[in-house]
Amino acid sequence: MKINRILIANRGEIAIRIMKTASRMKIETVAVRTSVEPDAMYLSSADKIYDNTEAESEIPVFLDIEKLIGIALETECNAVHPGYGFLAENAYFAQKCTDNKIIFIGPSPDALYKMGNKTIARRIALSGNIPMAMGSEGNIGNEEEAVTIAGKIGYPVIIKAASGGGGRGMRIVRKAEEMEKLFIIASKEAEKAFNDPSVFIEKYIENPKHIEFQILGDSRGNIIHLGERECSIQRKHQKLLEEAPSCALNEELRDEMGRTAVQMAKAVNYESAGTVEFLLDSDKNFYFMEMNTRIQVEHPVTEIITGIDLIEQQIRIANGEAIKFRQEDIKLNGWAIECRINAEDVQSGFAPDPGKIESLSLPSGPNIRIDTGIKAGSVIAANFDSMIAKLIISGNSRKDAVKNCKMALDKVWIKGTKTTLPFFRMLMRHPKFLNGDFTTTFIEKDLDQFFYNSEYEEMLAAWLATKLFIEENLEDNSINVDFENGKEMSPWLLNKRINQF
Amino acid sequence: MTNEKISIKKLYALSSENRRFCFSLPLKQTIRIGKRNYEVRLKNDEKFGTYILWKNRKYPVEIVRSRQNKYEILFNDIGYTFTIETPFSLQRMKVLGSKKGKVEKEMVKAPMPGKIIDVLVREGSNVLRGEPLVILEAMKMQNELQSPVNGQVLKVSAKSNSNVMKDDVLVEIKVE
């Protein structure tokens, strides 16, 4: 069976991204129209639209397994692409597709299940001698046991109170000689604070970087990696900026981590595109975190430096084709950076700022790729995520890419909601970011301001406020405003007024 | 009520961080920096909407909110809040400010529509500035709403598992 029509079980930019490649491969696509966003941009990329606006269901259609299978059968799709999020890593959905003779474009239900279960994933890593951020199996009885276990895990380790929280009863131990003393202190502190002296030990990874490897595997057992992505710029585990390659890796470390990632994928006979995530400490030790069994939001940076279309590979692999290149054919060229432009207010701690996009102008050029599912008039609804667009910038070197990114950021115009643009403008000027000197705690620890404004911007804003005030209130150089009990006016009416100047 | 019918020679834009910008009237289309005057223009076109042209660069601008003499402006994607004062109202504000002292009651409102996941305080709880009050889930993210002041909780209107609209009052705090 060869894939000839794909049901896109997703929305937004990733739906468009998948349909773009499918169309180039002369494969038809079906998209689902929902009542939440019946005029969404992704619908115009589909060959066929399944109208689900009348459906009365508690759960969104993209999470409704029975419904999606039904739509696929009704529209005669012989494959489903789940995108990311929603059902992308749901083993039951993948199994249901197979049961109904529909190709699930992704890994096998077995691989989805094994990697989705953290305990099983850890066991696989453990049996393959893959380094992990280990912990003691349970509570530690006494200081001798603590020394033995910490020796196995490797220093530094952190002692944590079993009933604890908020940092109390926690001690970082860097050397075996310190263990006995600190164990007793931590245990006593735990007893005092929580009425329970039990503590356990975990590996302590100091200021780690988040480094992940892109994996491709086919049904013939070929598995290769396409290099790494650096995703340390994140907030509460939400990635904001990703780049490829990472300036923290050299050829040797890349080979070693890449081999480890491939080993991990081989353990579950991984098929399709996937990602193995690691933490990398300042001494360049790396630890397996988890495997993501889907196409990822940040996949474009890998596509740019390898020249490989990952969606195309997913489709070909799902079709039973073998991967056409070997590990030694993979060459990383240049540098790519992805900025996630989200509807968030960086001045209020990245709080979501849903709303209607009043106008939108995105730059284009040889170094610029934009993946978006939003157009002027679209609504960033509170039901879905806050992404507006991914700005993907390339350059010959990191320096070059940063320079291009800085220029492109000034050409993005979005009106209607606040966005993460001021954050990226700040980042492109931050010495630590420019030097590659940042870890996953960068946003929490290294920043005192989350945005950038040039010297005169506030003054110009003040000038504008004054101008508006004069237009509204001042006649004949005299003032007609009640400073305490004024009127309220719709911002859009106001915008219309200032347009008349 | 205090309508003013006097001739004024300048206006002040006071930022929320208490920075003061003074503009003389009639308002000029130039701003003096050091020894040079630079042109500033408010423009509008099809492609860009409303923008300010300054030193050959376009900056997008938006009016987010306007109430009385208070203006909330987005300038190059960054929000600024100004109150516009005349020399007279500024003087009066200073006098009132010194007599009145600070606000007594603080209302903590939902910054966006969403669902209350957890309420962390009770009526009568003493809270410190920055202490989490309510966990609000919106757009798949859990947001901690923190107390803006030190004080005592007067009233808790937020209920776990309930949906709230933007600007719904969730907690009222008596300021210490």
Q: CA nearest A213: which of A285, A177, A264, A156? A: A264
Contacts of B140 in chain A (CB under 8 A): 384-385
Predicted confidence at residue A497, as pLDDT, reads 53
A406 alpha carbon, distance to own chain's centre = 21
Instruction: Judge if A214 and A190 occupy the same domain.
Output: no
Asked if B138 reaches chain A (Cβ–Cβ under 8 Å), the answer is yes
Domain housing A86 = 5-105
Tell me which of A254-258, A318-322, A420-424, B130-134 is least confident: B130-134
Q: Do B139 and A414 touch (CB under 8 A)?
A: no
* In a domain? residue A420: yes
Residues A199 and A213 in one domain: no
Q: Nearest CB to B4: which of A456, A479, A498?
A: A479
Q: Is the pLDDT of residue A342 over 80?
A: yes
The 3-state secondary structure of A374-442, one letter per residue: CCCCCEECCCCCCEEEEEEEEECCHHHHHHHHHHHHCCCEEECCCCCHHHHHHHCCCHHHHCCCCCCCH
In whole angstroms, give the CA distance from residue A422 to residue A347. Answer: 9
In a domain? residue A441:
yes
Confidence of residue A487 (pLDDT cuts 50, 70, 90): very low
Strand B132-138 to strand B141-146: parallel, antiparallel, or no bridges (unpaired)?
A: antiparallel
- Are both A181 and A237 inside the same structural domain? no
Judge if A226 and A297 occupy the same domain. Answer: yes
Domain finish residue from A203, A222, A255 = A203
> What is the tens place of the pLDDT at every residue in A232-271?
999 878 899 999 999 999 999 999 999 999 999 999 999 9
Would the CB atoms of B78 and A347 count as touching at under 8 Å? yes
Look up the CATH number of the domain holding residue A21: 3.40.50.20
A364 and B CB contact within 8 Å: no
**Mean pLDDT score, A19-28:** 98
Question: Would you call B112 and A499 a contact, using CB atoms and an 8 Å cutoff?
Answer: no
Q: pTM above 0.90?
A: no
Indicate if A294 belongs to the active site: yes
Q: Is position A127 within any domain?
A: no
- Rounded to the nearest integer, the mean pLDDT of chain A is 91
Asked if residue A454 belongs to a domain, the reply is no
To the nearest whole angstrom, how far is the Cα of B137 from the nearest Cα of chain A? 10
| Interchain contact A458–B (C-beta under 8 A) | yes
B residues 31-60 closer than 8 Å to A (CB): 31, 33, 40, 42, 44, 47-50, 52, 54, 57, 59-60
pLDDT at A191: 86
Number of domains in chain A: 4
| Position A499 confidence tier, pLDDT thresholds 50, 70, 90 | low
Do residues A341 and A391 make contact, with C-beta atoms less than 8 angstroms apart?
yes
Same domain assignment for residues A322 and A391: yes
The CATH number given to whatever domain includes residue A161 is 3.30.1490.20
Structure token digits, residue A284: 């360049």
Q: Is residue A456 part of a domain?
A: no
CB-based contact A460 B64, cutoff 8 Å:
no
Cis peptide preceding A245, ω within 30 of 0: yes
At residue A384, φ and ψ (nearest 5 deg) are -110, -175
pLDDT of res. A492: 52
Q: Is the pLDDT of residue A278 over 90?
A: yes
Is there a single domain that holds both residue A300 and residue A387? yes
Residue-range domain boundaries for chain B: 10-100, 105-175
Count Cβ atoms within 10 A of the Cβ of residue A78 and give its class: 0-12 exposed, 13-18 middle, 19 or more buried: middle
Chain B environment of A488 (Cβ under 8 Å): 66-67
Looking at per-residue confidence, does A481 or A266 come out higher? A266
Region of poorest pLDDT, from A118-132, A339-353, A447-461, B30-44: A118-132
Q: Greater confidence, B68 or A356? A: A356
- CB under 8 Å to A104, separation ≥6 — which residues? A79, A80, A82, A93, A94, A97, A98, A318
Q: What is the DSSP letter of B128?
A: -
Does residue A409 register a pLDDT over 90? yes
Task: Looking at the structure, tell me whether residues A163 and A281 fall in a common domain.
Answer: no
pLDDT of B5 over the 60 cut: no
Closest-approach residue (CA) in chain B for A416: B62
Q: Kindly state whether residue A31 falls inside one of the protein's structural domains.
A: yes
pLDDT, tens digit, 9 for 90 and up, residues A107-136? 999 999 999 887 788 889 989 999 887 777
Q: What is the mean pLDDT of chain B?
A: 85
Same domain, A268 and A181: no
Q: What is the pLDDT of residues A308-317, one digit of tens each?
A: 999 999 999 9
Q: Is pLDDT above 80 for B141?
A: no
Sequential DSSP letters for B7-60 = B-SEEEEEETT--EEEEESSPPSEEEETTEEEEEEEEEETTTEEEEEETTEEEE
Q: pLDDT confidence of B88, banded at 50, 70, 90?
A: confident
State pLDDT tens for residues B31-81.
988 889 999 999 988 877 899 999 999 999 998 888 888 999 999 999 999
Q: What is the pLDDT of residue A488?
A: 45
* Residue among A453, A480, A489 whose CB faces B66 most closely: A489
Write the CA distances from A350 to A420, A479, B111, integer angstroms. Answer: 8, 39, 12
Q: What is the pLDDT, as a whole number, of residue A168?
A: 67
Residues A150 and A266 in one domain: no
Q: For residue A352, what is the nearest residue in chain B, using CA coordinates?
A: B139
Distance from CA of A376 to the nearest CA of B (A): 11
Q: Which two tokens stand for residue A159?
A: 């002692």
Nearest to B69 among A347, A361, A483 (CB): A483
Judgement on whether residues A296 and A347 belong to the same structural domain of the protein = yes
User: Of the listed A171, A254, A294, A425, which one is catalytic?
Assistant: A294
Please answer yes or no on whether B111 and A483 come within 8 Å at the CB atom.
no
Tokens representing A350 are 């990245």
Which is higher by pLDDT, B160 or A369?
Answer: A369
Is residue A352 domain-shared with residue A424, that is, in the same domain?
yes
- Asked if residue A451 belongs to a domain, the reply is no
Q: A225 and A356 share a domain? A: yes
Quote ipTM for the complex. Answer: 0.78
Residue in chain B nearest A487 by alpha carbon: B68
Q: From CA A202, how far away is CA A275, in angstroms rounded?
A: 25
> What is the pLDDT at residue B150?
87
Best residue in B28, B63, B168 for a mutation probing chain A (most A CBs within 10 Å): B63
Among the partner residues A465, A484, A486, nearest to B82 by beta-carbon distance: A465
Which DSSP string do the residues of A51-85 spell out, in sequence order?
A: E-TT---SS-GGG-HHHHHHHHHHTT-SEEE--SS
Percentage helix, strand, coil, to 5, in chain B?
10, 55, 35
Query: Is A115 in contact with A293 (CB distance < 8 Å)?
Result: yes
Q: To the nearest whole angstrom, how far is the Cα of A166 from the nearest Cα of chain B?
A: 13
Identify the residue with better confidence: A414 or B93. Answer: A414
Closest Cα partner for B145 from B104, B106, B105?
Answer: B106
Pick among B78, B95, B140 to test the A interface (most A CBs inside 10 A):
B78
Which residues lie closer than 8 Å to A243 by C-beta, 6 or more apart? A229, A230, A301, A335, A336, A337, A338, A398, A401
CB atoms within 10 A of CB A167: 8
Q: What percent of chain A has pLDDT over 70?
A: 93
Angle CA B21–B25–B29, to nearest 5: 75
A491: closest CA among A417, A407, A438? A417
Q: For residue A119, tell me if it sits in a domain.
A: no
Averaged over A437-464, what is the pLDDT?
92
Chain B closest-CA separation from residue A488 CA (Å) = 5
pLDDT given at position B89:
85
Q: pLDDT grade, residue A413 (50/70/90)?
A: very high
- B162–chain A nearest CA distance, Å: 15
* Both tokens assigned to A250: 């050299």
Question: What's the pLDDT score for residue A339?
Answer: 98
| Average pLDDT of the segment spanning A318-345 | 97
Q: Does domain B105-175 have CATH number 2.40.50.100?
A: yes
Q: What pLDDT does A478 receive?
A: 55
The pLDDT value recorded for residue A486 is: 38
